Amino acid sequence: MDKFSYVNATSLKQVTSLLSDSGWGEVMMIAGGTDLLSELKEYIETPKTLINLKTLPGMDSITADASGLKIGALATVADIAMHPTIQHHYTVLAQAAASVATPQIRNVGTLGGNLCQRPRCWYYRDETVNCLKKGGDICYAIDGLSKYHAIFGGDPVYIVHPSDIAPALIALNASLRIAGPEGEKTLKVEEFFTLPAANPFRENVLEPNEIVVEVQVPQPKPDTKSFYLKAREKGAPDFALASVAGVFEMMGKTCQAANVVLGGVAPAPWRSAEAETALTGKMINEAVSMNAGAEAVKDAEPMNDNAYKVTLAQNLISRTAMMAVS
Amino acid sequence: MASWGEASQSRLIGKRIARLSGKDKVTGKAKYTFDINRPEMLYGRILRSEVAHANVTDLDLTRAEALPGVKAVIPLTEVGRKLRYQGQEIAAVAAETDDIAKDALRLIYVELEELPFVVTEADAMAEGAPQIRDDWKGNQSNPGINEDGDVDAAFSEAAVTVEATYHTPVQTHVCLETHGHVVEWTDENNLTVWASTQAVFGVRNDLARRFELPANQVRVITEHMGGGFGSKFNAGVEGLAAVRLSRMTERPVKLMLTRKAEHLVAGNRPSMTQHVKAGATRDGRLIAYDMRGYGTGGISSGAGFNAPYVYHVPNRRTERFNVAVNAGNQRAMRAPGHPQGAFAMDSLMDELAEKLGMNPLEFRRINDSSEVRQAQYTLGAQEIGWHRRNNVPGSGTGVKKRGMGVGSGLWGGGGGRGTQARVTINADGTVEAVTGTQDIGTGIRTVIAIIVAEELGLAPTDISVKVGDSGPGLPSGGSGGSQTTASVAPVIKTAAAAAKQKLFEHVAPLLQAPVDDLRIGTGKIYVASDRTKTVTWKQATGQLGQESISEGGNWDQELRQGGVAGTQFAEVEVDTQTGHVKVLKIVAVQDCGLAINRLTTESQINGGVIMGLGQALLEERIMDPQTGRMLNANLEDYKVPGTFEIPEIKSIVFDTHRKVTGVGEPPCIPTLGAIANAVHNAIGVRIRELPITPDKILTALAEKKA
């Protein structure tokens, strides 16, 4: 990696003012560093300054009450995975966090970092390949090897978003609090992520001088069942070939409301309104769950090597729906 | 005639004994080459080609040389030369810190004229492909053709035939400790090298020759070694560069490969593609075999494989050739050619058996002339519960379907001459065994201690074993071909016996008995005809006074034997919704002659099974035809088995005789076929291309449904 100066953060104000001096890449934030360090070592990023967020006070707390959950952006993935209330009432989130990487990485990786991590695409991660995401002319996955790439929303960059936690948060209708030089704002996690058609270079709407501060999750209704299913080639550590976060408000075997969000299949977490519609108001059985899976993938656009993801996403949705009634 | 004696007489040999270095390894006390640091040591790094094929048109090292902290920069190519694969060496630097060395690499100016490249076998064989080797016509070597019997006549007699194509991709060694050296010139003419190697003396001789030094002025040390699997027999480009950098700077230099370089240039198992047609008679005799196959060893040749394999076919025709691509060279890898051959052959056997409506195990029994394997089939089938397998493949119910498969293998492992050893007994009772072999993780250090301790009535921990050092001048061969134990054990055994005999001569007067009436007991020497006459070990060695006993040994061929058979059974569970294959259990029945240490023999089998499992389900070098680059030169996308992949492994040491035979390689061979056949038995579709990943399963299931 190249040389950089290292600044310990003292306040959000100081962080956003340090950030605002430049565009992307000159000044970067580091928390757990599990993603950023590998980008630095591979010269994918070459910042002049790193701001260490770990010194920000109080930003790693998790609080839960009847209204919901508040998780500081510096809470570790392990904290989330092992939090008893999250395990009990926000199961999909605990399961998603527990599926991330390895214990070592979960112990240092943070919520904010997990949401803002960069793609794993093997062209993007190769310094010598100047792909579209890095300002080049083409997405190499289009004519190249696309086994791990997108089947939805790719154009013009066919990466998949690697976060496990993001689909779970979207399925739970979570919001996040963002601080910038002008103060704070709150937006839905779903609105945080963007597709490459809107911005091929970034995966979310964060401005160069903004920082994710906290995630807020409303408490699910009492009869809610939620699950995170992650298909991967290797038990751990491995990123998702496809994953699904399913949150179902149940009355007996009938699904009152469904939130279904796929991971690993699109450049952003991919909410499947089709699957949600196919499940809502229905008695869940094999036929209904299969139909929900089929509906979810009917507009999929597989590439050369990833048609299997269509089947996989479909099957994961059916499986998670069936779990709500088993 | 020399012998290892009866099992009932053995106190230590054949028992399960924890490896002597285990505690040091677990606590981190064991020092690997990577851990060696010398005073004033510099850090070496190598700049490598990032393109697959290019002419070097300019190379300027001056900016790197000018960087503060850089002590030397050397070119490893020159203007006008060709770079023929990603990772090929361009230049090397030595600097005060590793970070400076890394920075220096980026200051080296290299100008390349990029040339057309091919990185896949298909592209290399396509019409109009760029020629990438000057010494071949096209990118294919001349085929080697063999024919036995009358193949065409045999096919006309065959009741069933199968025609299929099987493929295994390039697999890299993934040594946990990457290749590399720490080099120190102790004076102008004496070189000490800590090497991560499988051949201490091989590296010594290599370096002595290249730097024109007398061999005894080069000392190579490998105290502990983090995996080689056939890829670590020479000093390599990186070793030679380290020695040059050290000589120029008159400072020690450490130069270890990066993980990326390890994948790119430190060797690999070649790919294999076989187009096979085979035929069998109604009563299950395999009679006809016709195979056209190839593989790539990168820019080099050497992509051989065994076909047909294990099972006897009287009429066979084979045609094989190498395909050159712009990628790093193959090197020997654990049982070179065998796992690939076994996967294809065992898949083929199952396909034929299915066509015959025969149990695949019965079909093997008919065509396998090895009595050992016949017995192993019975034992393995019993252990896995073969009767539980699906009679009709894919007939299980539910989303997760189980199946069973079997595969087989064979190997040599009889050892060879060339080991010298010394067993020393000191007056204070201490015992030392020294030889120039190396413990590459397989446990030869403990094996040596066991043999000496058995011979002298001591405990293995009483024996100080010195291996992995050329300094004492007691050569031994490289640890390859599963030859180490069978090469070393007879020499140690005869050396220990000779030392014991010498000690008896010293003790006989004290016990007032003839030398040939003396025997070793546990911690003592006694008189066979009058067991009341005894001395303790300490009393006995006390007789030596100022002397020591120091004896060599010889490679007594009666103590070793080559040729092993193995068979493995796999039970898997396939998730038909996700395409994920979980291996539930592997039963590995491995013939290995006399297992001197049953515990580490089982470990060897476990390790082989895990490596075979990786090749069956996960591992593949992925080359990008667009950019000419390896896309997974890391451990994120080059996937090796982890804790979640390891099944229950029942390693059965199958005792056949009491002579020493190596067993390092054979246990990785049958696993691939066993797993692939189990997958077919589970879901009723056959995956003929490794690794068996979820995409292939889901695609195959979708095709079956359609």
Label residue B48 exposed, middle or buried (CB < 10 Å: 0-12, 13-18, 19+): buried
Query: Which chain A residues are Cβ-neighbours of B577 within 8 angstroms?
Result: 312, 315-316, 318-319
Residue A203 lies in a domain: no
Given a cut of 90, whether residue B511 has pLDDT beyond it is yes
pLDDT bin (cut points 50, 70, 90) of residue A20 is: confident
The tens digit of pLDDT for each residue in A278-302 reads 999 999 999 999 999 999 999 999 9
In chain A, how many domains are there?
1
B695 pLDDT more than 90: yes
Equal fold, B7-30+415-559 vs B268-413+561-705:
yes
Tokens, residue B673:
């076929």
User: What amino acid occupies position B597?
Assistant: N
Q: Which residue of A has its CA nearest to B698?
A: A308
pLDDT-based confidence at residue B644 (cuts at 50, 70, 90): very high
| Residue/partner pairs of B519-523 with CB below 8 Å, 24 or more apart | B520/B455, B520/B456, B520/B457, B521/B457, B522/B11, B522/B457, B523/B457, B523/B458
Beta strands in B188-226 (DSSP E): 190-195, 218-221
Task: Supply the ipTM of this predicted assembly.
Answer: 0.97
- Within-domain flag for A284: yes
Distance, C-alpha A9 to centroid of its chain: 25
- Substitution target in B107, B263, B627 with the highest count of A β-carbons within 10 Å is B627
Q: Return the residue in B695, B701, B704 with the most chain A beta carbons within 10 A, the one to mutate for interface testing.
A: B695
Architecture label for domain B268-413+561-705:
2-Layer Sandwich (3.30)
Give, as one character, the DSSP assignment of residue B516: G
The CATH class that applies to domain B33-115+179-256 reads: alpha beta
Task: Tell me what pLDDT residue B706 has.
Answer: 87
Averaged pLDDT, B125-148: 95
Interface touch B694/A235, C-beta < 8 Å? no
**Polymer length of chain B:** 706
B233-259 pLDDT per residue, tens: 999 999 999 999 999 999 999 999 999
pLDDT (tens digit per residue) in A201-259: 999 999 999 999 999 999 999 999 999 999 999 999 999 999 999 999 999 999 999 99
Q: For residue B625, which residues of chain A lie inside 8 Å, CB to CB?
A: 144
pLDDT for A21 equals 67
Chain B residues inside the 8 Å CB shell of A308: 579, 694-696, 698-699
- The pairing of beta strand A5-8 with beta strand B286-296: unpaired
Q: Enumerate residues 6+ apart whose C-beta is below 8 A from B115.
A: B53, B54, B55, B82, B130
The residue in chain B having the minimum alpha-carbon distance to the alpha carbon of residue A101 is: B636
Cβ–Cβ of A143/B626 closer than 8 Å? yes
Residue A298 belongs to domain with CATH number: 3.30.390.50
Find all residues with CB under 8 Å of A139, minimum gap 6, and list them: A123, A131, A132, A133, A154, A156, A157, A158
Is B584's Cβ below 8 Å from some Cβ in A? no
Give the domain extent around A301: 224-323
pTM of the model as a whole: 0.98
| CB–CB contact A128 B625 (8 Å) | no
- Residue A50 has phi, psi (to 5 degrees) of -115, 135
Asked if the C-beta of B69 comes within 8 angstroms of chain A's C-beta atoms, the answer is no
Q: Is residue A76 part of a domain?
A: no
Residue of A nearest to B581 (CA): A233
| Band of residue B301 on the pLDDT scale cut at 50, 70, 90 | very high
CA distance A189 to chain B (A): 28
Q: Which of B618, B624, B625 sits opposite A233 (nearest CB)?
A: B618
The interface residues of chain B toward chain A in range 544-583, judged by CB-CB distance below 8 A, are: 577-580
Per-residue pLDDT tens digits for B147-197: 999 999 999 999 999 999 999 999 999 999 999 999 999 999 999 999 999
Mean pLDDT of B304-329: 97
- State the average pLDDT over residues A173-192: 97
Query: Which residues are bridge partners to B82 per DSSP?
Result: B55
Contact B579 A319 (CB under 8 A): no
pLDDT at B348 over 90: yes
**Residue A7 φ then ψ, to 5°:** -120, 130
DSSP state of A222: T
Mutation for B interface: A38, A102, A233, most B CBs within 10 A? A233
Mean pLDDT of B83-96: 98
Tokens standing for A282? 């229905």
Q: Where are the domains of chain B?
A: 7-30+415-559, 33-115+179-256, 268-413+561-705
CB contact under 8 A, B643 and A237: no
- The answer to whether B358 and B283 are in contact (CB under 8 A) is no
Q: Give the whole-angstrom CA distance, residue A70 versus residue A67.
A: 10
Q: Does B114 contact chain A (CB < 8 Å)?
A: no
Contacts of B637 in chain A (CB under 8 A): 122, 148
Asked whether the beta carbons of residue B578 and residue A147 sit closer than 8 angstroms, the reply is: no
Backbone angles phi, psi at A223, to 5 degrees: -95, 30
Interchain pair B642, A235: CB under 8 A: yes
The model's confidence at residue B338, banded by pLDDT at 50, 70 and 90, is very high
> Residue A227, Cα to own-chain centre: how many angstroms?
15
Residue A243 to chain B, least CA–CA distance (Å): 10
Closest Cβ–Cβ partner in B624, B641, B696 for A145: B624
CATH architecture assigned to B7-30+415-559: 2-Layer Sandwich (3.30)
Collapse the DSSP code of B25 into the 3-class scheme (helix H, G, I; strand E, B; otherwise coil) and give the result: helix
pLDDT band, very low/low/confident/very high, at B649 (cuts 50, 70, 90):
very high
Q: What are the pLDDT digits (tens) for B427-442? A: 999 999 999 999 999 9
Tell if the CB–CB gap between B695 and A238 is shorter than 8 Å. Answer: no
A46 vs chain B: nearest CA distance in angstroms? 13
Q: Sorting pLDDT into bands at 50, 70 and 90, what band is B1?
A: low
Q: Distance (Å) from the C-alpha of residue A18 to the closest C-alpha of chain B?
A: 27
Give the pLDDT score at B2.
Answer: 87
Angle formed at CA A180 by CA A175 and CA A184, multiple of 5 degrees: 45
Domain membership flag for residue A234? yes
Q: Which residue of A has its CA nearest to B101?
A: A1
* Closest residue in chain B to residue A127, using alpha carbons only: B50
What count of CB pairs under 8 Å joins A to B?
A: 79
Smallest CA–CA distance, residue B693 to chain A, in Å, is 7
Q: Would you state the pLDDT for residue A23?
A: 86
Contacts of B125 (CB under 8 A, 6+ apart): B139, B140, B323
Whole-number Cα distances in Å, A272 to A244, A258, A260, A284: 10, 10, 6, 17
Q: Which residues of A97-123 are buried (b: 16+ CB within 10 A; e: fewer)?
A: bbbbbeeebbeebbbbbbbbbbbbbbb
- Segment B14-40 shows an average pLDDT of 97
Of residues A128, A234, A306, nearest to B50 (C-beta)? A128
CB atoms within 10 A of CB A299: 11
Whether A122 sits inside 8 A of B637 (CB atoms) is yes
Residue pLDDT, tens place only, B352-384: 999 999 999 999 999 999 999 999 999 999 999
Does B618 contact A238 at a Cβ distance shorter than 8 Å?
no
Write the pLDDT tens digit of every residue in A142-181: 999 999 999 999 999 999 999 999 999 999 999 999 999 9
